[in-house]
Structures are given as C-alpha cells and as structure tokens.
Amino acid sequence: MLDKSTVRNIAFLARIDVPDADLEPLAHQLSGILDWVEQLQEVNTDGVHPMSSVTEMTMTWRPDEVTDGGHRDKVTANAPAARDGFFAVPKVVE
C-alpha cells in the first residue's frame, strides 16, 4: 500500500507537481494497480532470464563516423525559449 509521502517522493522523482489534495486519491489508485500486479509473485521464475529483446536480433556495427548534423536551427526551432542557437532555461548556477 502506497502512502502519501511515497507518492510525493515518486512525483518529485518524475518531476510532476502533484497538489497535496491529489496525493491521497493517487496513492489509492496506484495501490490498486500494485495489488493487482502482485499476482505475478505466484509465477515461478527461478532460472528464467528477464527478457531483454523480444526478437532474436544481434545489434549491428557501423564505423564510428559523423553521419548527420549541422541542424542547429532546426533543432532549436521548437524550443519554447531559444537564444542565439542555445536552449534557454531558468538560472541554474547562482
């Protein structure tokens, strides 16, 4: 069962502002989902590898060369705040 403070903590980790009034209902909903997924504990998975790739595929190699780039203006075109080819953010270092 998740409590309010756990939800507050994961909301901070996920960088989503959750008003205090919403913590309790969210804790309730997430706990409901966690209770439901708890059924997986019944499955014996001893010696079973966690899936890492759904198709049996080997990653391919390519030469380590620059193949694309030089699109500074395209890359920053969608930024809510861009200045002189940079992304602008609130002051980080005092």
Q: How far is the CB of 19 from other proteins (least distance, A)?
A: 8
Closer CB to other proteins, 21 or 54, in the complex = 54
Pick from 39, 63, 83, 84 the residue near other proteins by CB under 8 A.
39
The CA-based angle 91-92-94, given to 5 degrees, is: 85
Helix (H, G, I), strand (E, B) or coil at 81: coil
Which residue type, as a one-letter code, is found at position 84? Answer: D
Q: How far is the CB of 42 from other proteins (least distance, A)?
A: 8
Backbone angles phi, psi at 27, to 5 degrees: -60, -40
Residues 63-82 that bind other proteins (CB under 8 A): 71, 74-81
